[in-house]
Copies of this chain bind each other. A is one copy, B any other.
Amino acid sequence: MKDAVRIQLEDFSQDEEIAALRASSKRMGGIATFIGCARDFSEGREVTQISFDAYGSMAVGEMNKLRDEATKKFALLGVRIVHRVGVVGAGEQIVFVAAGAEHRAPALQACQWLIDELKQRVPIWKKEITPQGEAWLTPHP
């Protein structure tokens, strides 16, 4: 069984992640997920690939903290967080977050909280590769 929280080079399967999440409890009435994808266009520039650099050990540590905090805050029955690193092509999947709870409201709230916090707290950096060259993305405040 793959870790519930991990970074990896390869793509992920929602079916596999959701099956693993649901295996943890039959009390789960609602599962909310978020998938971030590599867009082929960003701030007016065509983007062909995105390259990710990560401070791996800390990234996984922070993602596990997010999982624990969300579980307490929203009384979740399960959480999965997967982030890809390396090079991802336009249109490919980058990040997956899933939150399972007895009812839908906490699952949906937790999913939004998890992706918002992940972007704030997890040491991963994105470089956009365009036909004109490469540039590290500067996040908006």
Contacts and interface: CB of A to CB of B under 8 A. Distances in A.
A6 interface: no
A137 interface: no
A49 to B, nearest CB: 12
Nearest to A31: B35
A65 to B, nearest CB: 21
Interface residues of A, number: 29
This chain's copy number in the assembly: 2
A115 to B, nearest CB: 6
A34 B107 contact: yes
A132 interface: no
B32 A111 contact: yes
B14 A26 contact: no
Contact of A34 (B26, B108, B115): B108
Contact of A33 (B35, B36, B91, B112): B35
Contacts of A111: 32, 108
A30 B40 contact: no
